[in-house]
Structure 1
Amino acid sequence: MTEKRLSRWYFGGIASCGAACCTHPLDLVKVHLQTQQEVKMRMVGMAMHVVKNDGVLALYNGLITCEL
C-alpha cells in the first residue's frame, strides 16, 4: 500500500515569518544604538527604553511597510 504524502509548501512561509519576528526587533534596536550621539545605553537598555516609551509593538515598527 502506498502512503499519500501531503505537500508542506507552507513550511517555508511559516519559517520566514518566524525569522522576521525574531530578527526585526534586534535590527531595530541595533539601528537605535547606531544612531545615538554618544554611547549611553547597551542593547538590553535600549530595548527596554523603546518598550517603555513606545510599547512592545514598537519593536515591530516598519515591518509591514518593509515586507510589502
Structure 2
Amino acid sequence: MKNLMFDEKIMELELAGRTLKVSTGKISRQSSGAIVIQYGDTVVLSTANRNFNFVHSCPPNLN
C-alpha cells in the first residue's frame, strides 16, 4: 500500500500572550484550499472550493 504523505505547512507566533497557529495541507484535502487557524482555545477551519467545469451564462436581455 502506498504511503500518502501530507505536505503540511505550519506557522506559529506569539500574539498578546497566546499562540497563533496557522496550518494548511493536512485536513480537508478535497477542497481547492483549506486552512486551520488556532488562537488560544479557538479553532477555525476555512475552505475554498472551485468548479473547474463552470460555464458562464449571461441572463437574458430584458429590454
Q: TM-score, normalised by structure 2?
A: 0.22
Structure with more relative contact order (C-alpha pairs < 8 Å, separation 6 or more): 1
**Which is strand-richer, 1 or 2?**
2
Q: TM-score, normalised by structure 1?
A: 0.21
